[in-house]
Amino acid sequence: MTNPYAHTVEPLDPQKPDHKFFNLRKLKDPRYEQLPFSIRVLLESAVRNCDQFLVKQDDVEKILNWKVTQSQTVEVPFRPARVILQDFTGVPAVVDFAAMRDAVKKLQGDPEKINPVCPADLVIDHSIQVDFNRKSDSLQKNQDLEFERNRERFEFLKWGSKAFRNMRIIPPGSGIVHQVNLEYLARVVFDQDGFYYPDSLVGTDSHTTMIDGLGVLGWGVGGIEAEAVMLGQPISMVLPEVIGYRLLGTPDKYITSTDIVLTVTKHLRQVGVVGKFVEFFGPGVAQLSIADRATIANMCPEYGATAAFFPVDQISIQYLKQTGRDMEKLSYIEKYLKAVGMFRDYSNTAQDPQFTQVVELDLTTVEPCCSGPKRPHDRVSVAEMKKDFETCLVAKQGFKGFQVSPDRCDVQVPFQFNGAEYSLAHGSVVIAAITSCTNTSNPSVMLGAGLLAQKAVQAGLTVKPYIKTSLSPGSGVVTYYLKESGVMDFLSQLGFEVVGYGCMTCIGNSGPLPEPVVEAITQGDLVAAGVLSGNRNFEGRVHPNTRANYLASPPLVIAYAIAGTVRIDFEKQPLAVNSEGKEVYLRDIWPTREEIQAVERQFVIPAMFKEVYEKVEKVNERWNSLKAPSDKLYTWDPNSTYIKSPPFFDGLTRELQTPKPITDAYVLLNLGDSVTTDHISPAGNIARNSSAARYLTSRGLTAREFNSYGSRRGNDAVMARGTFANIRLFNKFINKQSPTTIYLPTGETLDVFDAAEKYQQAGHPLLILAGKEYGSGSSRDWAAKGPFLLGIKAVLAESYERIHRSNLVGMGVIPLEYLPGDSAESLGLSGRERYTVMIPPLLKPRMTVDIKLDTGKTFQARMRFDTDVELTYFHHGGILNYMIRKMSEN
């Protein structure tokens, strides 16, 4: 088939006629100039792939007609230019690929067809933990332990880099995937054999959206959807609404990008942007650096949007220069984007496209803030922190409540640490972590933290030694400029030593707290606090012993560490009293934006980025020395507790099975609102009394060798047992936080896995009842794979977060949604009924189906298969089954 838009191809440079691109402006269609810039990227993808399967000429017409079709559930395909992965999601992806090769071979196909057809970059950043801190050798010790724990996983990934074409591994110790993507991997414009097109991507991590801050359209997907993209399958998506977010004004000199993003997050959660694109525009955007924009784009999952796009402008080009990108390529990037109308001048209102809806924020109104204690969008101004925490202490158990008895609010628990006497109370800070790609990618907040540390040390301030402090930069460049600018020594003096280059505390790899601290928290049943410069603070995520967790800018992390409590009003109370008896207030040591920018201009230079990234793939000697087999088919080790062939494709045949009704299903769990993927499939420590722990113990492992759930994602036996194993899971059957449920046939209370196993042995299908925002948080595909392995056939919820719904579809689990106005409460559902879901032979996207109860009651719900392609996946039993059958065709 010939591409019908071939007539729009022209040379980018008349001097180089072999360098070409689709010039969509040659269509002379006025609708193009009205499209949001993010939709123009979708359009270019459709035009470029018009001669390939699943992309038709009328798809282009649908996108051009976006103004009319955006709210009509119009399905369009999108083929991203590349895929990024991190190791927690990358290991199971490579496991799936290895198992898919085996399955294709069994069906007499060519197993090497299972291979990425687009660039796939995997950055190892999720494995390192904060086992050691506050010492100059902490980094080395943590990295040594990381390799000791994860050697088998790393050898497996190294095999993958050899066995599969187009797969590149960025070794451990290099940084956090999104920061490495921003500083190094991002192309902005692809040059493939002299043909130019916009960089775009999907990633197996929800914060992939960080790259939108550089003008590269990207978002997070589940691992199974990413695997299909790597195998050449376009993403089938509903053409999104685009919310225009106008930024006005200039931030106050004391405001950080963290304050801005936490304000935006709360605002957009109130607006309601789930499943939509957000595109930023207005004169205020020009006041933000690329690092500031990347911070705002990074937390896109926390406000619920699919993408948070900042079109490329001159500041973007300056950032590419600052980070050492090739100058010749930069000239083509700018020339191409201007030619196709994708280069933005934020001060030119004539360039403003049409949006579905416009909302705005005046940056002058932003004030210093944190978010917490349990959700990223629960913003609290710093001035209100003390009052807000004390209100939460006594409030009813919930997102803003701990239900502490009023007579216990001021309890003090004394303890000894390193021979000295201390005490803890509600609100005492026990973890203070400068962590996460959200903030460590931004020189302004990192240097701001360094300058604040310098002033604090010079004022005679210290951090109590029992507080677990840490600094985990997102790339080696950060350490470089902190040292060169002279602030690293001051950070170290306050306990903020570099402990590793990875996600660490932000994903729950915070390591153990000192035993006396844990005993004091337990003895007093204290609501201890963690303060981190991360992007998530869901219950049970950061650390089991910190029930209150606040997201804050790196300078504020240090401030709360010095104060030792979140029960402080910085305006009225001093941070501390120094050894001379002088009261020191936060305002005395807080650096201004001008101070920070002066240091940044001097010390954040292109040579740093070039030096770090020229050797990033080869500098890790441990990685270089790893041995890995070179066979195209993986040889599974039956004794491994890390890497195991999954059962997803057992018994798979070429023939499709007709979907059948779900008959007399029991409800495994009855859940409420905002159940996160952390609740469904935790990533942190494996509790010693859990089903997963019992399994690992039966395989001869000690508790010290358990590692984390995240590191075990290559082993389905561990991950199935870890499903719904979060200690903060609130199950209405139990009416408390516990990773247990009731086995309804007998009334026994069991661990969730043990109950599911009994249901499966008895041949009973299972269902989950849930409220709003089911599956919010991380993109982890095990939050769908795990329920599938437990025998869960469907989830019935009031609403879903985008990525998790797609993951359920990808595993063949039916996402059912209550009709508007309905809920478990309004329908009088207790969860103790048995449910039959009628599935008609002819299915259509978003159709309603009948659900019959054993009580005689019948109601309707919507099947959230949103596109015809998703229904195709369902008929195949999931997206990977579909791809195996497709790849097995001769």
Closest CA to 506 of 535, 545, 548: 535
Pick the CATH number of 82-365 from 3.40.1310.30, 1.20.1250.20, 3.40.50.300, 3.30.499.10: 3.30.499.10
Query: How do beta strands 420-425 and 412-417 pair?
Result: antiparallel
For the chain, the distance separating the N- and C-terminal CA atoms, rounded to the nearest angstrom, is 21
Three-state DSSP class for residue 50 = coil
For residue 558, which phi and psi values (nearest 5 degrees)?
-65, -40
* C-alpha–C-alpha distance, residues 707 and 238, integer Å: 39
Burial tier of 148 (Cβ tally within 10 Å: 0-12, 13-18, 19+): exposed
Joined together, the tokens standing for residue 167 give 């797969």
Radius of gyration of the chain (CA): 26
Question: According to the model, what pLDDT value does residue 72 have?
Answer: 76
CB 751 within 8 A of CB 740: yes
Q: How many CB atoms lie within 10 A of CB 410?
A: 11
- Indicate if 662-681+723-888 has the same CATH topology as 411-608: no
* C-alpha–C-alpha distance, residues 516 and 196, integer Å: 60
Q: How many CB atoms lie within 10 A of CB 823?
A: 15
Q: CA geometry: angle at 377 spanning 374 and 380, to 5°?
A: 80
CB 324 within 8 A of CB 609: yes
Q: State the SS3 of 486-498.
A: CCHHHHHHCCCCE
* C-alpha–C-alpha distance, residues 570 and 555, integer Å: 13
Joined together, the tokens standing for residue 593 give 């934006």
Closest CA to 301 of 274, 340, 334: 274
* C-alpha–C-alpha distance, residues 63 and 43, integer Å: 6
Question: According to the model, what pLDDT value does residue 56 have?
Answer: 75
Three-state DSSP class for residue 764 = coil
Ranges under pLDDT 70 in the chain: 1, 53-55, 890
Average pLDDT, the chain: 94
Q: Break the chain into its structural domains and give their ranges.
A: 6-78, 82-365, 411-608, 662-681+723-888
Residue 572, CB-side half-sphere exposure with 13 Å CA sphere? 9
Task: Name the pTM for this structure.
Answer: 0.90
Element (H, E) at 212: none
Residue 249, CB-side half-sphere exposure with 13 Å CA sphere? 12
Q: Is the peptide bond before 119 cis (omega within 30 degrees of 0)?
A: no
Q: Cα dist. 121→320, 406, 601 in Å? A: 20, 52, 31
Element (H, E) at 810: helix 802-810
Q: Cα dist. 622→147, 148, 617, 707 in Å? A: 8, 11, 12, 20
Residue 486 CA, distance from chain mean position: 33
CATH 3.40.50.280 fits 411-608, yes or no: no
* C-alpha–C-alpha distance, residues 367 and 369, integer Å: 6
* C-alpha–C-alpha distance, residues 394 and 406, integer Å: 6
* C-alpha–C-alpha distance, residues 797 and 785, integer Å: 18
Q: How many CB atoms lie within 10 A of CB 391?
A: 12
* C-alpha–C-alpha distance, residues 599 and 548, integer Å: 34
CB 335 within 8 A of CB 12: yes
Please give the single-letter amino acid code of residue 229. V
Architecture in CATH for domain 662-681+723-888: Alpha-Beta Barrel (3.20)
Joined together, the tokens standing for residue 426 give 């509600």
Question: According to the model, what pLDDT value does residue 372 have?
Answer: 95
Closest CA to 164 of 109, 87, 101: 101
Alpha-carbon dihedral sign for residues 428, 430, 433, 436: negative
* C-alpha–C-alpha distance, residues 587 and 283, integer Å: 30
Joined together, the tokens standing for residue 638 give 């039956």
Joined together, the tokens standing for residue 390 give 């004390």
Q: CA geometry: angle at 754 spanning 753 and 755, to 5°?
A: 90
- Per DSSP, 208 falls in state G
Q: Cα dist. 381→371, 372, 386, 397, 585 in Å? A: 8, 11, 10, 22, 17
Question: According to the model, what pLDDT value does residue 54 have?
Answer: 61
* C-alpha–C-alpha distance, residues 722 and 687, integer Å: 10
- Per DSSP, 182 falls in state I
Please give the single-letter amino acid code of residue 735. N
Query: b or e along 240-255 (b: 16 or more beta carbons within 10 Å of the residue's beta carbon)?
Result: bbbbbbbbebebeeeb
Element (H, E) at 724: none
Closest CA to 722 of 709, 734, 704: 709
